[in-house]
Amino acid sequence: MKQMERGILSSYDFKRTSTKIGYAIMVLMLVGMAFTMLYPIAVTMLNGFKTNAEVNSFPPKFLPTTWEFDNFSKGWNYIDLTVFLKNTLFIFIGNMVVTVFVLGLASYSLSRLRVPYQRYIQFFFMVTLFIPAASYMIPSFVNLKELGLLNSYAAFWLPAGANAFFLLLLKSFFDGVHMELLEAARIDGASEVGTFVRIALPLSIPIFATLAIFVFSTAWNDWFWPSLVMHSEDKYPLATAMYKYVINVRRLDTNIKFAILFMVMVPPIIVFLVFQKYIMRGLHLGGVKG
């Protein structure tokens, strides 16, 4: 018989009234948090099955009176989601390549090479985490304009190589890699780049898998920055296309809007449910080690 692992609270703890009350409060808080997170998704899905008159009726009804399944086919035909999905995936792949090689090599250098003023450089990157993103959005736009990178995917890939949070997370991970493995590769004649590609990079797959989820989430949800740097409509990512062609369009029926939005909501939810264990594992591996 398999022995059950002991939790934080034992059966003896539950005999006390104060423990039962505290446990009940925590459970209620978790149920409330789950409800506030799942309710918008459920409303979006159910409104996608309603008629347009029922969606705009007052008082609103949670469940549809008649299920309009063709709303999703109408929404799919209204906008070419595959084009914008391709653009989003293209941005994600480019951002991920930059993250692996630029941030990977930079964090590896700070962790395992004798970089002059290493602690000051690390402190500089740490300070940038406290700077609001809105404060350097305009300077970034001006720099990209002067470089001639507007209306190109390089406007996403170049800033991806300056993510201080990813850099420090990767550095913390490389700090935990055994130095003997890297020294063995150097004894065999491998260069520093070769050591990174052959030894450090394969060992970093868990942390890069975690970063891939974060990068995917950013590429999928960001709409404001693409609307600034992209001028061609056929290059819009999915979130920007949703904002311009679905949310801000008045001639489109509300139930069709909800159907399109729900179709866009499903892929990231599936990605998170499938890879959620890698998020916690990667954050644990990238945590500060004593």
What is the model's pLDDT at position 280?
62
113, pLDDT greater than 90: no
- CATH (residue range 75-285): 1.10.3720.10
Quote the CA–CA distance of 167 and 283 in Å, as a whole number: 13
> Which tens digit of pLDDT belongs to each residue from 253-268?
899 999 999 999 988 8
Phi, psi of 190 (to 5 degrees): -75, 140
The mean pLDDT of 219-237, rounded to a whole number, is 89
Q: Is the pLDDT higher at 289 or at 166?
A: 166
DSSP assignments along 21-75, one per residue: HHHHHHHHHHHHHHHHHHHHHHHHHHHTTS-HHHHT-SS--SS-SS--THHHHHH
**pLDDT value at 282 more than 80:** no
* pTM summary value: 0.79
Please, where in the chain does CATH 1.10.3720.10 lie?
A: 75-285
Q: Categorise residue 2: left if φ over 0, alpha if ψ from -120 to 50, beta otherwise.
A: beta
The residue with tokens 């520093």 is 192
Q: What confidence score (pLDDT) does residue 237 get?
A: 92
Phi-psi group of 67: left, alpha or beta (phi > 0 → left; psi -120 to 50 → alpha; rest → beta)? beta
State residue 1's pLDDT score.
43
Q: What pLDDT, in 10s, does the model give residues 158-167? A: 888 888 899 9
What percent of the chain lies above the pLDDT cut of 70?
Answer: 91
CA distance 71 to 52: 10
Report which of 72, 62, 57 is spatially closest to residue 265, judged by C-alpha positions: 72
